[in-house]
Amino acid sequence: MKKILSIRPKPLGLLGIGAVVVFIGAIAKITKENFAGTLLLIGIVIEIIGIIYFLSTRQNH
């Protein structure tokens, strides 16, 4: 059976997205926005997932 939708994020792209989210969260924290903590938490989770994914793909090659 053929896969119709195959989403495989690139590890460095995931790290880049996480860095951008953390950067935006840091700016929101400086300007004292209400959503800053949530944004920082989401960014850190994306970074951790990206690092784990990056290390697991490096180990397979």
The pLDDT assigned to 31 comes to 92
Residue 48 lies in a domain: yes
4, part of any domain: no
Confidence at residue 16, expressed as pLDDT on a 0 to 100 scale: 87
What pLDDT is attached to residue 2?
57
Q: Residue 42 class from Cβ within 10 Å (0-12 exposed, 13-18 middle, 19+ buried)? A: middle
Predicted pLDDT at 3: 60
Q: Is 41 a member of any domain?
A: yes
User: Which residues span the domain enclosing 24?
Assistant: 11-60
Determine the pLDDT at residue 36: 86
**Ramachandran angles phi, psi of 8, nearest 5°:** -130, 100
What pLDDT, on the 0 to 100 scale, is given for residue 56?
A: 85
Does residue 6 fall inside a structural domain?
A: no
Average pLDDT across the chain, whole number: 82
Note whether residue 2 is domain-resident: no
Phi-psi region of 32 (alpha: psi -120 to 50; beta: other; left: phi over 0): left
User: Alpha-carbon distance 18 to 44, whole Å?
Assistant: 7
Domain count of the fold of the chain: 1
Ranges under pLDDT 50 in the chain: none
